[in-house]
A = this chain, B = another copy of it.
């Protein structure tokens, strides 16, 4: 596995690979877990070359968010990345991605970035779409792999790719969960034992809603209320949002006809966790 820490090193590596190979690209912020490794394995299975980026992107964190606290362990990550089939690992400094005076942004406008995480993190997706666009420009992947855990990010990036005619196929892989159901996240390590225990309510409340939906319950309000009351029963939780939206457009719905996304964001003291389920 090659490691490139600068844009110049990355370009040298990509030139050596040549233009005829298919490239599967997995952009991450590192501190890899089995969810990331599933993306790397999928990229490895479907492409000639697998490129992984590890970059804790400062522009998607607002002041006061957990940029500094975000967990990092490059040595562990590079071993896991290599074992999962990564051919080229791009691990740049922020100054490599954002040259001095950089002030160009890629922004997906509209409800799709204003709902869910966009409510409490209004500048977040502008940072995500900008950095993903930059990484696509640098790596020119055939396919890029994202986890369904970040459902809104997936919807926003798909829209950016469509609107800007980016020549890349977006592949979405299912949420990978711990044995007890907690959705894997690099931030899970920041939970204390009691928070870790209560965090199970995210996946449990979504599974309950899924069971009610499968049993015939189609009212968005009813299902949302059920999820809210189940999460609120855990005293360390603070709900950021609970919502059920059209799966593709993230538009509001009153009852579930086509596939819908039930998504939650819940804060513990220092840690904000996401989970979701597709109701189909």
List A residues at the B interface (Cβ < 8 Å): 7, 19-20, 97-99, 102-110, 112, 129-130, 133-134, 137-138, 140, 159-160, 162-167
Contacting residue for A19 out of B19, B106, B165, CB 8 A? B19
B167 close to A99 (CB less than 8 A):
no
State the 10 A-B residue pairs at the shortest beta-carbon distance, nearest first. Answer: A104-B163, A103-B109, A102-B163, A103-B110, A19-B19, A104-B108, A137-B165, A104-B160, A138-B165, A137-B166
A163 close to B106 (CB less than 8 A):
no
Q: Copy number of this protein in the oligomer?
A: 2
B99 close to A105 (CB less than 8 A):
no
Closest Cβ neighbor of A168 among chain B residues: B137
B164 close to A104 (CB less than 8 A):
yes
Contacting residue for A164 out of B106, B108, B109, B163, CB 8 A? B106
A137 close to B164 (CB less than 8 A):
yes
C-alpha gap A104/B134 in the complex (Å): 15
Given contacts A99-B162, A137-B167, A165-B137, contact A106 B109 (CB under 8 A): no
C-alpha gap A133/B103 in the complex (Å): 15
> Hey, which chain B residues are within 8 Å of A134, CB to CB?
164-165
Within the complex, the shortest CB–CB distance from A5 to chain B, in Å, comes to 15
C-alpha gap A134/B167 in the complex (Å): 10
A-B contact pairs, 8 of them (CB 8 A): A97-B165, A103-B108, A103-B110, A104-B107, A137-B166, A137-B167, A138-B165, A140-B167
> Hey, which chain B residues are within 8 Å of A102, CB to CB?
162-163
> Hey, which chain B residues are within 8 Å of A20, CB to CB?
19
C-alpha gap A181/B246 in the complex (Å): 59
> Hey, which chain B residues are within 8 Å of A107, CB to CB?
104-105, 107
Closest Cβ neighbor of A11 among chain B residues: B167
Contacting residue for A105 out of B103, B109, B140, CB 8 A? B109
> Hey, which chain B residues are within 8 Å of A97, CB to CB?
165
C-alpha gap A148/B153 in the complex (Å): 39
Contacting residue for A106 out of B105, B112, B159, CB 8 A? B105
Given contacts A19-B19, A19-B20, A20-B19, contact A163 B108 (CB under 8 A): no
B167 close to A133 (CB less than 8 A):
no
C-alpha gap A108/B107 in the complex (Å): 11
A104 close to B99 (CB less than 8 A):
no
Closest Cβ neighbor of A10 among chain B residues: B165
C-alpha gap A105/B107 in the complex (Å): 5
